[in-house]
Amino acid sequence: MYATPAERAAFVDERLAQIYPHPAIPLNHHDPYTLLIAVLLSAQCTDKRVNEVTPRLFERASTPAEMARVQVEEIEAIVRPCGLAPQKARAISGLSRILVAEHGSEVPKTFAALEALPGVGHKTASVVMSQAFGVPAFPVDTHIHRLAQRWKLTRGRNVTETERDLKKLFPEAHWNLLHLRMIYYGREHCTARGCDGTVCEICRTLFPERRRAVRVRK
């Protein structure tokens, strides 16, 4: 019934839109800068924990100019619960100074400029471009990478290859919402422990004859 990646992608796209018609950005923020900081903090950390930390951080400083005046040690103390605190604090301080000095205290609206900032990789830049500026992007984290493998939408060996494959399969106009929908579905129905490729609704629908757990490339 769903013999090809294109057929499977069409089902996934339609079903996720039904389940999550209006997905919200899971990281609390109020502008592109606070979104950028929240996404940076979410590396190897849950969104729930980030949302617990950012109110205190943004109360202390919520603009690049304000953050640039805060000592790195103070930033580190606030963001410590998110893990990797020394690196994240240096990145937050460094990118804030660059935004003030080179971008008029505004978050740039290009991938190249974003990825040139300290601590900002392609995934972080993709989230900001898509969710803050509405530019079509398909941020792929480890969980989306695993979902795409379970649903046989990719043979990618890493998130970069998986992102390439997903962009080919799904309409560009759907990327921004689909990224969020996959995040929510993965958390609620197809978790690393809760579904091995044989349990959740989408896995069972796409592969009703599947009996063995899917081994995914991390």
Q: Are residues 119 and 148 in the same domain?
A: no
104 located within any domain: yes
66 located within any domain: yes
Q: What is the pLDDT of residue 218?
A: 64
| Cβ contacts of 47 within 8 Å, gap of 6 or more | 26, 27
**47, 88, 109, 141: the active-site residue:** 141
Q: Are residues 144 and 128 in the same domain?
A: no
Q: Are residues 124 and 47 in the same domain?
A: yes
Q: Are residues 41 and 101 in the same domain?
A: yes
Give how far Cα 119 sits from Cα of 21, 44, 61, 196, 205, Å: 32, 13, 18, 32, 39
| Cβ contacts of 82 within 8 Å, gap of 6 or more | 41, 42, 45, 49, 50, 53, 88
141 is catalytic: yes
Range of the domain at 116: 32-133
Grouping H, G, I as helix, E, B as strand and the rest as coil, residue 144 is helix
Q: What is the pLDDT of residue 51?
A: 98
For the chain, what is the domain count?
A: 2
CATH for 169: 1.10.1670.10
Q: Are residues 188 and 117 in the same domain?
A: no
Q: Are residues 67 and 126 in the same domain?
A: yes
Which of 133, 154, 179 represents a domain boundary (last residue)?
Answer: 133
**88, 123, 165, 196: the active-site residue:** 123
167 is catalytic: no
pTM exceeds 0.85, yes or no? yes
Query: Residue type at 122?
Result: H
The percent of the chain in helix, strand and coil, each rounded to the nearest 5, is 60, 0, 40
Tens-digit pLDDT string for the chain (218 aa) = 799 999 999 999 999 999 999 999 999 999 999 999 999 999 999 999 999 999 999 999 999 999 999 999 999 999 999 999 999 999 999 999 999 999 999 999 999 999 999 999 999 999 999 999 999 999 999 889 999 999 999 999 999 999 999 999 999 999 999 999 999 999 999 998 889 999 999 999 999 999 898 888 76
Which of 111, 133, 155 represents a domain boundary (last residue)?
Answer: 133
Which of 118, 133, 148 represents a domain boundary (last residue)?
Answer: 133
